Chain A
Amino acid sequence: ILNVEQSPQSLHVQEGDSTNFTCSFPSSNFYALHWYRWETAKSPEALFVMTLNGDEKKKGRISATLNTKEGYSYLYIKGSQPEDSATYLCALSFGNEKLTFGTGTRLTIIP
């Protein structure tokens, strides 16, 4: 069974601070890693899809890195804002269509 782990499970960050969290996965047969941002009562929103070792992607204050050889990805948020409060999901695909999700990191920004 493929195991995708995310840590921490939850995180409280002061507004204005920067933060990061981790997605870990088995490094063999890697295909693509997806990051989603999921606000309560809304649909998960695609942030990044990364496929190459060493990939770095950025969207505004949010960025992500990928290390396929050691099996991890980091998501960074710079200068956290209240609207960043959400659950951040990572998901992997391994040469097929289905996404295998981690448990998510629930981020709460404290004003």
Chain B
Amino acid sequence: EPEVTQTPSHQVTQMGQEVILRCVPISNHLYFYWYRQILGQKVEFLVSFYNNEISEKSEIFDDQFSVERPDGSNFTLKIRSTKLEDSAMYFCASSVVRVMGQPQHFGDGTRLSIL
């Protein structure tokens, strides 16, 4: 069964450094998402992406964050200058269409640790 893949599984970065989290969505999916879960908290929506542009973003997704689909397969999340509070599990998801009743398919996540 096709799946969403994320790399790396764990990233350790010094505060203030840039980090890029990578995702390969399911190949025929058109909608892409990033979520994160800070330890002990709920999974939170960050951003959705369709047709090469952001379709929705949360308050968390400020100017330090950006997303890109640099080629036909990868979908990346960049954090320009990481802060301690960016430490979390980051999940990529994709869905085939944006219609009622369709699930989003998640990757295994990247655990980001900011030192």
Query: A residues bordering B, Cβ < 8 Å?
Result: 31-32, 34, 36, 41-46, 49, 51, 89, 91, 93, 96-104
Q: Are A31 and B100 in contact (CB under 8 A)?
A: yes
Q: State in angstroms the CA–CA spacing of A32 and B44 once bound together.
A: 17
Contact status of A98 and B58, CB under 8 A, knowing A43-B3, A44-B91 = yes
Q: State in angstroms the CA–CA spacing of A103 and B100 once bound together.
A: 23
Q: Report the minimal beta-carbon distance from B113 to chain A, rounded to whole angstroms.
A: 16
Note all chain A residues with C-beta closer than 8 A to B31. 97
Q: State in angstroms the CA–CA spacing of A43 and B3 once bound together.
A: 10
Q: Mark B73-113, 1 if CB is under 8 A from A, else 0.
A: 00000000000000000010001001011111111110000
Q: Are B100 and A51 in contact (CB under 8 A)?
A: yes
Q: Which residues 35-85 of B have a CB within 8 angstroms of A?
A: 35, 42-45, 48, 50, 55-56, 58
Closest 3 CB pairs of A and B: A46-B103, A98-B45, A101-B43
Closest to A41 in B: B108
Closest to B44 in A: A101
Q: Per a CB cutoff under 8 Å, which of B56, B101, B108 touches A43?
A: B108
Q: Report the minimal beta-carbon distance from A73 to chain B, rounded to whole angstroms.
A: 15
Q: Are A43 and B103 in contact (CB under 8 A)?
A: no
Q: Are B56 and A96 in contact (CB under 8 A)?
A: yes
B114 CB-CB contact with A under 8 Å: no
Q: State in angstroms the CA–CA spacing of A43 and B26 once bound together.
A: 14
Q: Per a CB cutoff under 8 Å, which of A32, A91, A104 touches B100?
A: A32
With A97-B95, A101-B44 known, 13 other A-B pairs at CB within 8 A are A32-B101, A43-B107, A49-B101, A91-B43, A96-B56, A97-B33, A97-B48, A97-B98, A98-B45, A100-B45, A101-B35, A101-B43, A103-B42
B4 CB-CB contact with A under 8 Å: yes
Q: Are A49 and B42 in contact (CB under 8 A)?
A: no
Q: Report the minimal beta-carbon distance from B100 to chain A, rounded to whole angstroms.
A: 5
Q: State in angstroms the CA–CA spacing of A31 and B101 once bound together.
A: 9
Q: State in angstroms the CA–CA spacing of A65 and B35 once bound together.
A: 26
